Structure 1
């Protein structure tokens, strides 16, 4: 837009410089060719088209050297030559300008053009060149500012992403601390209050036996024992509920993945879509994932590990797959069947689920697949 505005001003000044000339076919042709050359410079796309446009501008200057009628519109071509001046091509532009100045001097001596037209053409040629150079510098500054703006926006997006990661990490740490505190409270209640109530129940039973020959006293101790047993059951239920709340599947799996990640190790991708699984299923899946990642680190040269834990309408599912390759992989995995894989299978089958482990179908790597029914998992306490 800036160059269109500049060229409009230059063209208007060129027309003013040519007002004193006789309007003939050569002047009209000079005007039309000047406008065409100036327009080609604006619509040229691609390196080849730009070079052709630049060559047309130089050709127009050369024609103006031999045809006086073209001289008043030469500043349009000089404007386009100046816009593409580079250090390696500056001598060509300076040579074309010097030749054009010599042509104007020759026209002045020969009287081919009026002095007014020659003076305006010379002044306009210098002004058009300076205007083009100024606009080129302005465009470079605008481009630099756009790049700076894009870099700042990119940095802002990166910082925003880091802030989100930090916020998520902070939430994770808070949740982890909360769950750890719940587990500690559950242990304290179980170890202290639970044991004291159990002791009180045994003492009440012993006193009831000692005073068996005193029906009234024995009945009182029976009531005391019943009350203590009820309190013990309530404490146990509360401890189990608190312990279950302290077991979060997503937090457990995330903790295991974080511990397994290392600079030289595989990239581990984790997706958990089952945050409220029962404690026994969460502990089972955590043990399976820990053993599966351990096998991957020890027995394969995997680059990527994908962990998916999902909750379906009737069952929970855990899938651990890697792209590990290596000659020792099959043998190592086969030996592990009697130890790690066997332990994983026993854990899943104890909850009524199914467990499979073996090479991935149609792709290199290993796949561990475990499912546990919801009803079986929820009832097994």
Structure 2
């Protein structure tokens, strides 16, 4: 848009310079030619615009040596020639300016143009050149400012993302520490207070038996025993509540994923969309997640693992996918007992899904994972993925049967 305004100004100056020339076909043709060449330059792409402007301006200025009617409109051509001005190599622009001065001198000597017209053309040409160079510099500054702005905006977005990650990590660490403290308190109550109350209960029961001959004393000991038994029941309830509250499947799954990624090149993506998972179900699913990730890393040489645990109205569903290859030991061990378990809709599993024995050093193996899941009334399957290379571990636990278990 700045170029268009500049060219309108230069064209106005050219018309002022042409006022003293007779209006004839040559003058009108020169006006139309200058406008056409200037408009043609603007239609070119950025890469070809500089070359096109150099060629058009050179042809126009060279022709003006022989056609006097072109001289008043030469500033418009010189404006386009100066748009690619470079201080390190100014020779193209200086060459066109020298050629234009030759044209002015030739027409002055031949008397084709008046001295006033030649002077105005020279002044307007110089002004057009300066205006073009200034606009080029302004456009360059705008381009650099836009680049800097985009870079700063990108850095700002990156910093905001890192700040969000840090805050989420901070919340995660705080929650993990809180749950760990709850678990520690539960252990302390169970190991200390619970044992002491159990000891007091046994002593009161023994003293009640010893003093059976004295009904009043025996009744007192029995009363104390009932009070201790009540306190022991309350302690057990509190311990179980603290233990259940201290288990968060999402946090524990992310913690297990961090442990797997630490010191290895494997990347683990964890998605846990479960709320209020019972402790026994959560511990079972966490054990399956840990063993499946360990197998994928050590035996499948996986580079990426996807863990997804979802809660449906009637069941919890876990799937662990990796992009590693199934070794011969994995395939053989998975085929020991054959396929078992169904898919997420309760239909029979596909023939490629296996469940069987696969023991790893320090791990519980496929059989142990299957037994854990089936102990809660669920189904388990493991085998090669059908859609792509890799291994798939799938488990589902019904809520009703898990609650009864």
Q: What is the TM-score when the length of structure 1 is the normalising length?
A: 0.95
User: How far off is 1:369 after superposition?
Assistant: 0.5
After superposition, where does 1:1-381 map in structure 2 within 5 Å? 1-45=1-45, 47-48=47-48, 51-86=51-86, 90-262=90-262, 264-325=264-325, 329-335=327-333, 337-339=357-359, 340-380=365-405
Q: Cα deviation per residue 1:206-265 (whole Å; 9 max; x = unaligned)? A: 111011111122112112111211111111011101100000000110000000004642
Q: Distance in 2 between matches of 1:330 and 1:157?
A: 47
User: How far off is 1:334 after superposition?
Assistant: 3.2
Q: Cα deviation per residue 1:56-99 (whole Å; 9 max; x = unaligned)? A: 33222222121110100110010011102457974333222211
Q: Distance in 1 between matches of 2:244 and 2:140?
A: 64
Worse overlay, 259-268 or 139-148: 259-268
Unaligned residue ranges in structure 2 (runs of 5+): 335-356, 360-364
Unaligned residue ranges in structure 1 (runs of 5+): none
Q: Distance in 2 between matches of 1:4 and 1:17?
A: 20
- 2:330/2:358 contact within 8 Å kept: no
4+ runs deviating over 6 angstroms: none
User: How far off is 1:193 after superposition?
Assistant: 1.2
Aligned residues: 378
Q: Cα deviation per residue 1:340-367 (whole Å; 9 max; x = unaligned)? A: 1111111111111111011111321100
Secondary structure at the aligned position of 1:269 is classed as: strand
- 1:44/1:53 contact within 8 Å kept: no
- 1:299/1:333 contact within 8 Å kept: no
Q: What is the TM-score when the length of structure 2 is the normalising length?
A: 0.89
Q: Distance in 1 between matches of 2:40 and 2:122?
A: 24
- 1:75/1:121 contact within 8 Å kept: yes
Secondary structure at the aligned position of 2:305 is classed as: strand
RMSD of aligned residue pairs (Cα, Å):
1.8
Secondary structure at the aligned position of 1:355 is classed as: strand
- 2:310/2:316 contact within 8 Å kept: yes
Q: Distance in 2 between matches of 1:36 and 1:19?
A: 20
User: How far off is 1:107 after superposition?
Assistant: 0.8
Q: Distance in 1 between matches of 2:273 and 2:54?
A: 63
Q: Cα deviation per residue 1:28-55 (whole Å; 9 max; x = unaligned)? A: 1111111222222223235456644543
User: For residues 62 and 271 of structure 1, do their structure 2 counterparts lie closer, same or farther at Cα, with a shift above 3 Å needed?
Assistant: same
Worse overlay, 291-300 or 252-261: 291-300
Q: Cα deviation per residue 1:152-204 (whole Å; 9 max; x = unaligned)? A: 00000000000000000000000000000100111111111111111111111
- 2:53/2:81 contact within 8 Å kept: no
